[in-house]
Copies of this chain bind each other. A is one copy, B any other.
């Protein structure tokens, strides 16, 4: 009989999300795999027993009293997976906000030296130690919100060496935070100002120089392209993504954020791992995503923070049969760090149900990042990564606007909040 390291009892509900290897939000999304009045036993970093309190008690030797944690009716969910961030940057853009509030356009802010190129300047000039420290602080706060796996895109250096430098910082940030970081190379975030007249050369550099190096040194897991008029065309995006695939890297695409430009259709044609944003994707292209099985990574706080009238099409994607995942889009333009905040935006802005939102923030987000099967779920033999929320039911996640976990387990051990640095 197993004697576990820890026994969690007294959970009113455990959402296991354990419904198979390639799950998708959809009609079955209400099936959260709920276990009521449940218990979880953890040993050696993994879940060794999960079920009703009675069934678990019958299968294990009870650990010492100080290793038995009574959750007092709280709920347990898998650790969150944040499928889309631009967390690696220096500086902020708070100073642009009053002008935006008063109606300044993106172009006007860019002409005043603002927008993405402000962040590119500050990131290029920031010492490595500062980038590691500030990004780690952001991600530790994300961890405090229950995130365990976080995708991080580059894209604020926008030249060969600068982008490689950013990718090279991510292992140190992973060590410092204890998080699983999934690196994505996004040199095609924008054409940098100094390459304005030479965009073909910039794409050549990405395809011929940076992607081969990224692949050779395994610096990133994915390559992403911002496919939008004024950024990269569909043809350029296709060229970059095909070269990434040839180099053995996974594919992602920022598509149809501002206008319907064919980005989602390209995503379906190339069968990329995920297409992101998709605010303006027409229904035909939604259906193409569904047929191709491409996951839509939705970022419901982003249009809200951009003061846009569009909202993220969560309901429309689910109703079209597209698998949906969620991300914070943490960046200087949409500075949200914690996934519980995003769950509320997924419900109140993107019109997912709370059950769909939880699926999208766990098992579907793990799928969008091609993570090992079992991540984003709670099941025997799987990783002991979970969050406890002081809620009466799992359905209150996404319903409550600003909840926080009361306790986090990572690799089978409790993470006391004091371990997450004093200033969190």
Contact = CB atoms under 8 A, between A and B. Distances in A.
Given A315-B101, A353-B97, A92 B399 contact: yes
A156 interface: no
Given A92-B396, A137-B390, A423-B390, A353 B401 contact: no
Contacts of A393: 92, 94
Interface stretch (A32-40, A269-277, A331-339): A331-339
Given A304-B348, A423-B72, A353 B98 contact: yes
B101 A341 contact: no
B423 A335 contact: no
Contacts of A162: none
A422 B393 CA distance: 19
Contacts of A65: none
Contacts of A401: 301, 305, 334-337, 341
A97 B395 contact: yes
A347 B101 contact: yes
Nearest to A353: B98
A180 to B, nearest CB: 21
B137 A338 contact: no
A349 B349 CA distance: 12
Q: Which of A92, A341, A401, A422 has the most CB of B within 10 A?
A: A401
Contacts of A336: 400-402
A402 B74 CA distance: 23
A69 to B, nearest CB: 11
A47 B419 CA distance: 32
A422 B69 CA distance: 13
A392 interface: yes
A351 interface: yes
Contact of A395 (B95, B398, B399): B95
Contacts of A392: 92
A424 interface: yes
A320 interface: no
A5 to B, nearest CB: 21
A233 interface: no
A195 interface: no
Q: Lowest 9 A-B CB distances belong to which pairs?
A: A336-B401, A94-B399, A94-B395, A341-B402, A98-B353, A406-B423, A335-B400, A390-B423, A94-B396
Given A94-B354, A137-B390, A406-B422, 9 more contacts: A74-B423, A97-B353, A97-B354, A101-B351, A101-B352, A101-B353, A404-B424, A406-B424, A417-B417
22 contacts: A72-B423, A92-B393, A92-B399, A94-B393, A94-B396, A97-B353, A97-B395, A98-B353, A141-B404, A301-B401, A304-B348, A305-B401, A307-B351, A334-B401, A337-B400, A337-B401, A341-B341, A390-B424, A402-B402, A404-B424, A406-B423, A417-B417
Interface of A: 72, 74, 92-95, 97-98, 101, 137, 141, 145, 301, 304-305, 307, 315, 334-338, 341, 347-349, 351-355, 390, 392-393, 395-396, 398-402, 404, 406, 417, 422-424
